[in-house]
A and B are shown apart, each in its own frame.
Chain A
Amino acid sequence: MELFCLGLNHRTAPVEVREKFAVGNTQLGQTAHEMVRLAEASEAVVISTCNRTEFYFAAENAEIAFQLIESRLSEKTQLDPEINSHFYRKSKFDAARHLCNVVCGLDSMMLGETEIFGQVKQAYRSALDAGATGIVLNKLFQRVFGIGKKVRTETSIQEGSTSVGNVAVDLAEKIFGHLKNSEVMILGAGEMSRITAQSLVSRGAKSIFVANRSFDRAQELATEMGGSAVRFDDWQNVLKRVDVVISSTGAPHAIVNRADVELARRARKYRPLFFIDIAVPRDIDPEVGEIEEVYLYDIDTLEQLAEEARERRHLQIEECQRIIDLELVKTHLPGI
């Protein structure tokens, strides 16, 4: 019995091809069962996320099974046979190693992301429940989950935030701890501030205030996020109560000056205040950052922190591969 894998991902196929092969979460088990029949294999697991669709098989003859599955997939999706060029084929040890890379987030668009671990677990569970797995794939997946945990524990592959939004949210948590008692004000209803504010809300921020020159747009965004709209002339009053200010207006000059913040300090009883300035040109005068209880981060600083985290993760790849190879060699899995 041989282990092999057929798949496509964000590196090998554009979205218009990937979407043809995408499988919904509720269909994973049934599709795995169907794949066993199509490939004349003994076992199959189907992994499908927004960036990849992969089929893992155990069959007597991998070469025959590859040919069968490729031709049948082309027929089934009614796509040009050239579509096969988007697929990668891996067998035995390479297939097991690739699955480890996927589970550890080494093959993800965002290096080291953790969501993929749960998605692969769900895919395996669906195939198992559908009766599409056997001794080869059961042993492989169980071992790979163990290796995935070891890699995440022993390396820094998932440490640090790699996007501006997540860096801002992590900083907010470093300042305020749980965000459930924190209030947020958005100045300017741009896309970046919406994304960052949503991240804060998803981590429990208590309430959101939106101030925008167009009050209608402020109301629209406030409704979308379950917050309150504020007239733009009124943001100084709201400053007295909030903990985090996210600013991304299109103003050609600073709109938050030191004097504005100084006026609110007494009413705030000098509580910590976190400013996230993601506008270019900057909305917040750098002098605001000199106020004792103010923590000011602009887009360049946030980008730099995200980039440093990405670099730190890249430096971990070699160590992750070393652990994966060592662990795979140590365990004698059937089919590889």
Chain B
Amino acid sequence: MGMDRSFLIASSLFALVGAAWGMWAVHQGKRSPWTVAWILGAFLCQIGFLSVRGQSRAACPLHDAGEILTFLAWSLTLFYLLVGPAYRISLLGVFTAPVVVTFQGLALLPGVLTQPPQPIAGGNAWHETHSAMSVLAYGALALAAVAGVMFLVLDRQLKEHHLKSGLFRNLPPVRELLTSLLRLLWLGGILLTVGIIAGFLMPHTASAWAHLIAAVAVWIAYVVLLTVKQVRGLTGRRLSLAAVLLFALSLAVFAFV
């Protein structure tokens, strides 16, 4: 087994243990201070994977579905580590870890990661910027979707007066969740904008145009969402639902385009 695959398996195991440990703590009605540590372990292994693949490719490792999924998981983890502990929303890690495991689990399926990775000849800087910024943006938008799911769970519990569970006690306040969600949407939107501008500047093939049009459509959807939120206002439920649906939709679009 190659070094890259070993790093990816180790990272997935760290995230899996973090998720299981965190869920067990939540079930007991306690906070799990170790969630951040497990996810940090997963993050370091992701860096190991991306370094090995980057060296082999002699380019940013975004050239097969497995690399894209892992880069996305890395981006999601990075934003969790930046946002979660700062806002004391350690539970965000418990919700983030299963998404990381899912992405990396898919990357580990036979045939998803190209083995061995071939060096990329004649790389283009705009192309690399487009890929890296877009995947980073989707990391931020994925975390916004995770925060959205957390809000929807908390909102339902508060509405229905089901306040006894350990999960309820550990969820951060509604206002903090919505603030984090909105900041992540803005961050994702800005990164996506940079990615799309770079996309227009890179050399195009016929399939790249279809991809770029899909990216612009997703970008427009996020811009509309943020504009409506900023100008008219939106309930937490609608903002969260939109963040979750738009992210799921954009993933589906890129799976087929």
- Residues from chain B with a CB closer than 8 A to the CB of A295 are 158-159
Q: Which residues from chain A contact B171 at a C-beta distance below 8 Å? A: 174
Which A269-323 residues have a C-beta within 8 angstroms of B? 269-272, 289, 292-293, 295, 297, 301, 305, 308
A266–chain B nearest beta-carbon distance, Å: 7
B234 at interface by CB-CB < 8 Å: yes
Query: Quick check: A176 and B238 within 8 Å, CB to CB?
Result: no
Using known A-B contacts A269-B232, A305-B163, A308-B164, determine if residue A174 contacts B158 with beta carbons closer than 8 Å.
yes
Which of B163, B172, B232 gathers the greatest number of chain A CB atoms within 10 Å? B163
Is B235 touching A175 in the complex (CB atoms < 8 A)? no
Contact of B233 among A177, A268, A297 (CB under 8 A): A268
Instruction: Judge if A173 is at the interface, Cβ distance under 8 Å.
Output: yes
Pairwise interchain contact A177-B172, C-beta atoms closer than 8 A: yes
Q: Are A175 and B159 in contact (CB under 8 A)?
A: no
Expressed in whole angstroms, the minimum distance between the Cβ of A25 and any Cβ of chain B is 34
| CA of A150 to CA of B158, assembled, Å | 32
A301 touches B233 (CB 8 A): no
- Chain A neighbourhood of B161, CB < 8 A: 297, 301, 305
B interface size (C-beta, 8 A): 22
Task: Tell whether, in the assembled complex, residue B158 and residue A177 are in contact, meaning their CB atoms are under 8 Å apart.
Answer: no
Given A175-B174, A272-B174, A272-B175, is A292 in contact with B163 using a C-beta cutoff of 8 Å?
A: no
Decide yes or no: A176 and B237 within 8 Å by CB, A297-B161, A305-B163 being known contacts.
no
Partner of A293, one of B163, B164, B176, B236: B236
Q: Which residues of chain A come closer than 8 Å to B158, judged between CB atoms?
A: 171, 174-175, 295
Cβ of B173 to closest chain A Cβ, rounded Å: 4
A272 partner residues in chain B, CB cutoff 8 A: 174-175, 178, 236
Distance between Cα atoms of A293 and B158 in the complex (Å): 11
Is the CB–CB distance between B235 and A292 below 8 Å? yes
A163 to chain B, nearest CB (A): 15
Establish whether residues A177 and B238, one from each chain, have CB atoms under 8 Å apart when the complex forms: no
Q: Which residue of A lies closest to B169 (CB)?
A: A159
B163's nearest neighbour on chain A, judged by CB, is A305
List which B22-52 residues lie within 8 A (CB) of chain A: 29
B174→A292 contact, CB < 8 A:
no
A295 to B159, CA, bound (A): 6
Task: Give CA–CA (A305, B164) in the complex, Å.
Answer: 9
B163 partner residues in chain A, CB cutoff 8 A: 171, 305
Given A292-B235, A295-B158, decide whether A176 and B164 contact each other with a Cβ distance below 8 A: no
Interface residues of B in 56-71 (CB under 8 A from A): none
Residue of B nearest to A292 (CB): B235
Instruction: Quote the shortest CB–CB distance from B139 to chain A (angstroms).
Output: 25
A177 touches B176 (CB 8 A): yes
A177, B173: Cβ atoms closer than 8 Å: yes
Chain B residues lying within 8 Å of A268, measured Cβ to Cβ, are 233
Q: Provide the bound-state CA to CA distance between A301 and B162, in Å.
A: 11
Known: A175-B175, A270-B235. 5 other contacts (CB 8 A): A174-B173, A176-B173, A266-B233, A295-B158, A297-B161
B residues near A, CB below 8 A?
A: 29, 154, 158-159, 161, 163-164, 168, 171-176, 178, 232-238
14 pairs, A vs B, C-beta closer than 8 Å: A174-B174, A175-B158, A266-B232, A269-B232, A270-B233, A270-B235, A270-B238, A271-B233, A272-B178, A292-B235, A292-B237, A292-B238, A305-B161, A308-B164
